[in-house]
Amino acid sequence: MSDLDIQKLSMRFDLPGGGSVQALKDVTLTLKEGELLSVLGPSGCGKTTLLNIVAGFLAPTEGTITLGGKKVTGPSAERGMVFQQGALFEWMDVRDNVSFGPRMRGQKPSQYRDEVNHLLDVVGLGDFKEKAIYELSGGMQQRVALARCLANHPDVILMDEPLGALDALTREKMQGLVLKLWKETGKTIILITHSVEEALLLGERLLVMAPRPGRIHKEYRLPFAETGVTQDLRQVKKTAEFGAVREEILGMIWDMEEEIMGRQEGA
Amino acid sequence: MELITSLAGELRTVLGTVLSAAPFIIGYVLLILGTLAVWKVIRQFLQPRRDYSALKTVTFGDESAVTSNTVASVISIALIFVLWGAFTGSKLLPGFLHVPGAFTGEGSFTYTAQGPDGSTDEATVMVRVFPAGSEADAPEAALGEGFAKDDGLAVQAYRSELLRFDDNDEFTRDDGASVVAIDGRPVEAGGPGVDVGFATVNVTGRGTLNITPDTGWQMEPIWLPAPEAVWSQLVKISSDGFRNSTLAEHLGYSLFRVIVGFLLGAIVGIPLGYAMGLSDWFRGWFDPIVEFMRPVPPLALIPLVILWAGIGEVGKIILLFLAALWIMAIAARSGVSGVRISKVHAAYSLGASKWQIMRHVIIPNSLPDIFTGARVAMGVCWGTVVAAELVAAEKGAGMMIMVASKFQSTDIVIMGIILIGVVGFSIDMLMRWAERILVPWKGRG
Ligand SMILES: Nc1ncnc2c1ncn2[C@@H]1O[C@H](COP(=O)(O)OP(=O)(O)OP(=O)(O)O)[C@@H](O)[C@H]1O
Ligand SMILES: [Mg+2]
């Protein structure tokens, strides 16, 4: 059982000019193996900070994270990350990017070749294996990033706005792909997004965070990801249920943003 | 205060020179615009249909659409050679394109001498003007009648010659004879000269005649030799050599110094830059040194290097090593610091070790910056080696033109400058080509 357990996580950044920012306060959360959690919240509420701590890039000021009972102390191959953009290695072609993890573990080409080819076929880049990264479009690059992460067999996949830089149409296709891969591989996924629709469509669970200090505001359990696996995502979006939850969450985030603005004007 | 006054004086001189050049610059610009107009007319005949770029709605402001016009480049280069040929009387150019040259051939004028008794007599001077590089005897002159006798004189083009007209006269200057008129026009000693058609003749303060043949508009070969003279020097020096070394040896030595100096600079500078990029201790240690040494022009180190290491190869290579070292160190440092943190994070979360991140992320990520640095360093090294050879060297491109200039062999100087330019340009092209092949992702991250 590789459950992800986040206990009483707090993060304070000390600013160089004195003073500090409380980016996270007392975040507690347990994610079962194979769950897909999407995280929403106004800008600056600590979403990226949370993900960076889970990935092991940042050490929290308080609290612990365990994955399958093992304490997280730094980055490791069991927690893969898909960045928004610019994290591919331009000096390698598509295939070398995807096989990076296995190669670093010392595997021979015969050991990973078939799987890498398969993954590239799955993400629709079968014909682009030898292409250079800078020859690909933004959406294709994100598919490479996804395949690179999957080729490394992480227990948890962390995604920080992986589709944020894509156009609406490509984004929709990629959402379908993420759902499909999630269902096929059964990975635990944390997905940060700014799009309420995306969070609803993909998240089995949804976390809405509030800022200052960054904390969990409300949690939802959603049925749409399950239906989305079999149905057309556009149809899912049109259902009344989907619309109702979307309005509720939009209103919630809107109120939070207004409060921030009000506080800033008052100060 | 004194400094400011003298600098202001210098500035006036410089501005005066610029102003005197202004008509030529304006003329050149007008010529460019003129060829542009002609080209537009010609193009309309060649391509009546408008090309795609002419369909743009924005015709000004889209600088990214400006590319180099090959026709303009060809005309520009051709014009340089035509002007060069026209002002040097090049044989490669049809004669009607030459600007008027210096007078050569024969001419004559008369002078009127006044004897001590106040009587005057006229005599003719035959002048033969011969081009530089040849020799000629003075023309034979019939003595003529009267007390002033005819003279003959040979003058080299672009030179002037004194004529002691009285050498063969019956009255000499010591007797009180003097010239009072040239070609019938009155002159006085030390006064302005008289134009006699092919030359200017004036009477010096001591009473002799000074004959200066017209120089025309062309440049004397000692200032600017014709293109074919430069070419024939190239042919001659590449087969016979210059100063005990062949042309290939001169260029080869210069290139050898640049390559060895640059490679040593890169071998030390790149690891130094990496250390500075990876460790704050190394960065703190070397930042003051590197930041101070970088703005010191390598040329300023020449005297010190000569004092320490003499004028041999070691000294030059030390100089070039220093020229390349700081550039390469800074390039490698910025290549390391410029790595996107998300790439490093991605590699860590894919299971890479520190050493693997160094090998597979940081080093390849720094290559574009290192190549940019290498291109700059090679350019600086090439400039520095030529300058160092100007100061002191036994062999080398810079030494060749410096020695040639001491012997006023302008053709060798110009040939050397052109070769130095060609080599420098080739080095840059080679580096660009290597960059395209080796770091094709440069600037496309
Ligand atoms: N390295 C840091 N040093 C200081 N403060 C930081 C640092 N990283 C983040 N913060 C602060 O922590 C808070 C949370 O930042 P974080 O990047 O996690 O927000 P976010 O929710 O991801 O925002 P966005 O939606 O805009 O990406 C912000 O107030 C930010 O200013
Ligand atoms: Mg005489």
Which ligand 1 atom is nearest residue A46's CA?
A: 18
Place of tokens 């004189």: B153
Is residue A72 located within the same domain as residue A163?
yes
In a shared domain, residues B288 and B390: yes
Non-local CB neighbours of B243 within 8 Å, separated by 6+ positions: B395, B399, B400, B403
Q: Are residues A219 and A113 in the same domain?
A: no
Ligand nearest to the CA of A17: 1
For residue A260, being part of any structural domain is answered with no
Tell which one of A9, A12, A48, A161 to mutate to probe ligand 1, the residue whose CB is within 8 A of the most ligand atoms.
A48
Contact B350 A152 (CB under 8 A): yes
Asked whether residue A49 falls in the same domain as residue A123, the answer is no
Q: Which of B348, B349, B357 to probe by mutation at the A interface, max A CB count within 10 Å?
A: B349
- Residue-range definition of the domain harbouring residue A105: 88-153
Looking at the structure, do residues A21 and A43 belong to the same domain, yes or no? yes
| Structural domain total, chain B | 3
Cis peptide before A213 (omega within 30 of 0): yes
> Quick one: A147 and A167 in the same domain?
no
Q: Same domain for B328 and B396?
A: yes
- Report the C-alpha gap between A93 and A132 in whole angstroms: 5
| Predicted TM-score (pTM) of this structure | 0.81
- Looking at the structure, tell me whether residues A44 and A147 fall in a common domain: no
B345/B235 same-domain check: yes
Residue type, B285: W
B76 and B136 belong to one structural domain: no
Boundary-marking domain end, from B73, B97, B121: B97
Full residue range of the structural domain in which residue B166 is found: 105-213
Centre of ligand 2 from the C-alpha of residue B149, in Å: 3
> Are A66 and A175 in the same domain?
yes
Does a structural domain hold residue B30?
A: yes
Q: Are residues A172 and A211 in the same domain?
A: yes
A251 domain residue, yes or no: no
- Same domain, yes or no: A105 and A192: no
- What ipTM does the predicted assembly reach? 0.88
Residue B220 domain flag: no
Nearest C-alpha to atom 3 of ligand 1 is from which residue? A13
Interface of A with B (CB under 8 A): 55-57, 74-77, 79-81, 83, 86-91, 100-101, 104-105, 132-134, 148-149, 152, 154, 158
Q: Are the beta carbons of B283 and B274 closer than 8 angstroms?
A: no
User: What is the distance between the alpha carbons of residues A230 and A180, in angstroms, rounded to a whole number?
Assistant: 9
Contact B238, B248 (CB under 8 A): yes
Tens place of pLDDT per residue across chain B (445 aa)? 889 999 999 999 999 999 999 999 999 999 999 999 999 888 888 766 555 555 556 666 666 667 888 899 999 999 999 999 999 888 888 988 888 888 888 899 998 988 888 888 888 899 999 987 788 888 887 777 788 888 888 999 888 889 888 888 888 888 888 888 998 889 888 888 889 888 999 898 888 899 999 888 888 888 899 999 999 999 999 888 888 888 999 999 999 999 999 999 999 999 999 999 999 999 999 999 999 998 999 989 999 998 998 878 899 999 999 999 999 999 999 999 989 999 999 999 998 999 999 999 999 999 999 999 999 999 999 999 999 999 888 889 999 999 999 998 999 999 999 999 999 999 999 999 999 999 988 877 6
A221 part of a folded domain: yes
